[in-house]
Every structure is written in C-alpha cells, then in structure tokens.
Structure 1
Amino acid sequence: MNTSPWSCLLVMACLLPVPALAGPPGAHVHGAASLQVAVDGNTLSLQLETPLANLVGFEHAPRTAQQKQALRAMADRLRQAGEIFTPTPAARCTTVSVELESPLLQPSPPAEGDGHADLDGSFVFRCENAAALRDIEVGLFATFPRLRRIDVQVAGPRGQSAARLSPQQRRISW
C-alpha cells in the first residue's frame, strides 16, 4: 500500500483522543517525554516530545563550547533513528526521515526565553514487511540517562493503545 503524508497526518490525529498518561496537555516535566506511534500501511511514524533537560541537561541557549557540543551530539545521535528505535526485526524497517525541532537547534538560538526549551522529533520508517511489525524497542534511556519515563500512544492496524516506558521497560508492543 502506498501512503501519502496526509494519511500519516490523519493517523497521528487519531491519536489525540487517547488519554495521555503524562498529565495535563503541554505539561513540561523533567525526566518525562511523550512518544506517539502511528502505523499506516508500510509507514511507521514516531513523534517525540521532551524537555531538552532530559537530553542535554539544560534548556537555555548554550553558553559554553561544551554545551554547544552537547546539543550537536544529541542531534547527531537522534538522527541515527534506526539505532535509537528498533522496530520488530522481521518487519525490515529502514529510516526514511528524521526532523528535529527546538529553538536551541536554530543557527542563532534565542538568548532569552522562559528556560523551558523542548525538543520535538519526527522519525519516519518504511517497513518492507509491515504485517510483521508488532513492537519497538526504545533505546532513548540508555543514550539519555536523565530520561526516566516515556508516555506512549499508539495508533495502528489493531486500534489504539497507551503505555508507559521506563529504563526497565523499554519495549512498546501492540
């Protein structure tokens, strides 16, 4: 089945009614992140939202060369989506695109702000055998130890579900 970006957006919109485990919408909680998973045909889409403190230890514009390097290293690591997110091996999924958005990743990050910068990541995979796609191992905890929980919402061929991942429970199944 050939999917369009619009059908992926439709599937992601279907995630909205699933109750969030993280608390009020827009809550900025250090140690916590949210991940939306959508399976649409042979396309696997992941949307990650997290405070930057979970990934680099700060949320202000980088003040030192070390902080600038931490931001670059974090972005480089997340761009290796196939090493961070491991879909069911039998599904034979490969990374199609990675988009990272944060004010601190701009060429000229804002000098001022509310001190609560987030990162929004979009990861798209194409799966050769989508029928075999049953789960994803999430490697964010090993890479970013400040991250303590990920609230996950899934929309796929078997319906909607939600789960909470932790360093001890890193696999979301559906």
Structure 2
Amino acid sequence: MRRLLLALPFALLPLAMAHAADDHDHEHGSLGAHEHGVGSLNVALDGQTLELALDGPSVNLVGFEHIATTDADKAKVASARAQLENPLVLFSLPKAAGCIADQQELESPLFEAAPEEAGGGAKAAHHHSDIEAHYAFTCSKPEALKTLDLTQFFKTFPGTQKIKVQLIGANGQQGVEVTPKAPTLTF
C-alpha cells in the first residue's frame, strides 16, 4: 500500500525544503517537528489508486498524548479510532470518482499500549505520541477526482488547526496547507 507514498518524500523534497525555510523559527526549526495543532497528509494518485497517509500529534485528535488510563480517556481514544476507520466520511471525495476504500492501517502508541505496559505514569505523561493513518482507495473514474475536502475531518478533530499536504497527482506535484477555513485540496 505504501509504494506510492514512499516516493513522496523524495519527489517533494524541493517543496519540503522551501517550506522548512519558511518554518525555520517554529518549534525545533526542523522538518518533522512535533507541532500541536498541525498535521501532515501525503496524497498520491497513480492510475486508479489513491493513497493517503495522515500523521499528527495525538493531542490534535484526542486532546492528550499520554496513554489512556481513565475511562474518559479510553473512550476518547476509541472514538477517534472509530472515526479514523471511516475515511470516506473524514475525507470527502467526489462521488463521481467512484472511490472505494480498499485498505487502511492505523498506528499509535495510544492504540496499542495498555497502561501497565506504558513504563510508568510519569514517562507516559511526557511522551509525545503521534497518530498515523494510511489509506488506499480504488477509484473507478480517477479523472473525476478533482478535489479532496477535509471539512468533516476538521469538524471531527477540532484540535487540528492546519494540515500540511504534499500531493502527487495527474497534474504533477504540489505542497499546500489546508485549514478549517480553507479545507479543500485541488488535484
């Protein structure tokens, strides 16, 4: 599933370097910095295959980064996971494109570790954890895939204020930022 997405960092390196220069004064001043409220989304369209790879701090999606120990925190993690398991709701694709979600993979320490395995409360409380989601779609009419609307994503996860997108599609490559006020990506 990650065949296309593995090529993205190399293909978009010039865009990433330019963006890094703009972000030089932000947290840690480096690519891939863990920045609350900000996520990244890699999008690759190759023939009928559309792949999405989302990555961001878990605080953006559940409101915290520590291992869930309370019932309330466990419920937030379960809810976020359930939402992420519905990519066609979170990422609105044109119906005319006929996209079907074929594969998905969700990864996060919050999804896997039980409190007893977290290595102690103090360590877990200060750990920066991310949530990663990888999706593959087959689109019967990829030529109709003109936009990707993240309005529902921002409504579902209001802790996310900005998503840095790297895209490779039929019209080449681009790097853009989407926000709740400008949530649509154009292919």
CA contact (8 A) 2:67 2:114 kept: no
Q: Which residue pairs with 1:120 in the alignment? A: 132
Q: Which residue pairs with 1:153 in the alignment? A: 166
Q: Which residue pairs with 2:114 in the alignment? A: 108
Measure the CA separation in 2 of the matches of 1:10 and 1:107.
27
Q: Which residue pairs with 1:62 in the alignment? A: 68
Q: 1:130 to 1:52 in 2, by over 3 A?
A: same
CA contact (8 A) 1:31 1:148 kept: yes
**Deviations, residues 25-68 of structure 1 (Å, cap 9, x unaligned):** 12011110010100011011001010000001100111201101
CA contact (8 A) 2:60 2:160 kept: yes
Shift of 1:170: 0.8
Instruction: State the one-letter code of the partner of 2:184.
Output: R
**Alignment TM-score, normalising by the size of structure 1:** 0.89
| Pairing 1:17–2:13 present | yes
**Alignment TM-score, normalising by the size of structure 2:** 0.83
- More helix by proportion, 1 or 2? 2
Q: Which residue pairs with 1:172 in the alignment? A: 185
SS in 2 for 1:36: strand
Structure 2's unaligned 5+ residue stretches are 24-29
Deviant stretches of 4+, over 6 Å:
none
Q: 1:90 to 1:41 in 2, by over 3 A?
A: same
Measure the CA separation in 2 of the matches of 1:27 and 1:55.
17
- More strand by proportion, 1 or 2? 1
Count of residues paired in the alignment: 170
Q: Alignment RMSD, CA only? A: 1.9
Larger displacement relative to structure 2 (160-169 or 10-19):
10-19
Measure the CA separation in 2 of the matches of 1:6 and 1:116.
24
Percentage of identical aligned residues: 35
Measure the CA separation in 1 of the matches of 2:83 and 2:156.
8
